Every structure is written in C-alpha cells, then in structure tokens.
Amino acid sequence: ETGVTQSPTHLIKTRGQQVTLRCSSQSGHNTVSWYQQALGQGPQFIFQYYREEENGRGNFPPRFSGLQFPNYSSELNVNALELDDSALYLCASSLMGQGDGEQYFGPGTRLTVT
Amino acid sequence: AQTVTQSQPEMSVQEAETVTLSCTYDTSESDYYLFWYKQPPSRQMILVIRQEAYKQQNATENRFSVNFQKAAKSFSLKISDSQLGDAAMYFCAYRSGVHGSGNTGKLIFGQGTTLQVKP
C-alpha cells in the first residue's frame, strides 16, 4: 500500500450536481496529479498541482477544477456533473524537483452519476 | 503527441507458467520512461517495473522483466512463475523525460490487459 489516501471511497451523484473529491499525498511529496479512469480503460490525466498552483492540464473542460493546500493535500471539484463523468478518480502524489518524480497512487474514488 | 497501445485486452496463464504482455508506444522524444503498473481488483495501482529509455539493459524485478525494443517502440512485460496474486489489470505507461515549462511528468497509459491466473 502507498501512503496516498482518498475520500470518499464511493459516491453517487445526480446529473447537474457538483462533487468534491479529496486526496492526501504521501509524506514528503509536494505534487498531486489527478486521473480519470473510465470502466475498463486506462487512466487519463486531468491536471497536476504543484506548490498550490495548477502545473499542467489534460483535455478536460473547465468544470473540472482543483486545489492544493499548504500541506500538499488536494481536492478535485467537478461542476455540472454529466453521466460520462462516472468513473474511478485516482490521485497520485510525487516529489517534484528531486529524483525521478515517481508517482504513487491512491485507492481512488468511484463516482457514479445518475 | 505520445500514445501507448496494449493490443491484448485479456490474457490467461497457468499458475507457475510464464506469460508476456505486449505494449507499443509512439513518441518523437528521445528521453522518456516506460512503466508497467498493476491494478488488482478494488485495490491500489502499484508500480511493477520501470525502464529508462537511455538504458539499453532490460529492467528486471524478481519474477518480472521487460523486453525493451527502442527502435521498434515495443515494451513487453514477462511474468515468470506466475502466481495467483498476479491476477490483475496491467497497464503500460509512458512519461516524458523532457524537463521544462509545462512538463508535468504526466503518465500516458495504455488501455490495459486483464491477466487471469488459473490454478
């Protein structure tokens, strides 16, 4: 098991609602990346946060947003939920600027949009 | 843009036997890393093995080894002496080694291969 935790484990929301997912990074890590994994697919990069700022973004609309806090934990917010947002959301923490920046994944949050 | 392709949606192997999972990738970069990740059902994704593109020697981690063919852009994973605990979805992933503005070190994943291990 890695030291990365995510909450909640599962979540059911209705189309049009908003959701916040949380991630606590591994001790000593300063960077959090978020990925969306649709059922039976590989994870897709959403964005990354480093030093409390967005450090890069994948091909996701602006209704996907995030935050990083001084303790390096992070939130992923999704507004105006759509059915296609149903997926496993993974966060991965890493240490930017030293070593190879290997990413360590959390267990994920399973989001179901009905 | 870089892409990663895993052409085997499902594979099966008999316990104690050897299995090879395939992965091809496309990139114009010369500096990059390749990874194999394991995702057991309802459990965290963990790194199995990594390969730096500048290293000619194939990486090995216990029962896991890779066959890295840089010119062919191929990166296969061999699992020897398969165990029941090896059953999982396996993902091949690429990460750029280029440093600079906007480089997040994001991972680009293939579609995954589900490995079944038969007792």
Residue B102: pLDDT band (50, 70, 90) is low
Dist CA A89 CA A110 (whole Å): 6
Contact A34, A89 (CB under 8 A): yes
Residue B103 pLDDT: 64
* Residue B114 scores a pLDDT above 60: yes
| Mean pLDDT of successive 10-residue stretches along chain A, which has 114 residues | 89 98 92 94 94 91 96 96 97 78 91 98
Across the interface, which of A42, A90, A92 has its CB nearest the CB of B112? A42
Which residues lie closer than 8 Å to A51 by C-beta, 6 or more apart?
A30, A68
DSSP 8-class letter at B16 = T
Residue B97 pLDDT: 81
Of residues B118 and B103, more confidently modeled: B118
Q: Is A1 on the interface with B (CB under 8 A)?
A: yes
| Summary mean pLDDT of chain B | 93
Dist CA A104 CA B100 (whole Å): 22
* pLDDT (average), residues B5-30: 96
Cβ–Cβ gap A56/B33 under 8 Å: no
Residue B41 pLDDT: 86
CA distance A106 to chain B (A): 6
Dist CA A76 CA A85 (whole Å): 13
* pLDDT (average), residues B45-64: 94
Residue A51 pLDDT: 86
CA distance A80 to chain B (A): 26
Across the interface, which of A42, A56, A104 has its CB nearest the CB of B109? A42
* Residue B27 scores a pLDDT above 70: yes
Dist CA B28 CA B31 (whole Å): 9
The β-bridge partners of B80 are none
Q: What are phi and psi of B85, to 5 degrees?
A: -70, -5
Dist CA A75 CA A65 (whole Å): 8
Residue B99 pLDDT: 60
Which B residues, 44 through 83, put their C-beta within 8 Å of a C-beta on chain A? 44-47, 50
Residue A55 pLDDT: 87
Amino acid at A108: G
Residue A95 pLDDT: 86
Cβ–Cβ gap B104/A42 under 8 Å: no
Q: How much of chain B exceeds pLDDT 70, in percent?
A: 95
Q: Is A41 on the interface with B (CB under 8 A)?
A: yes
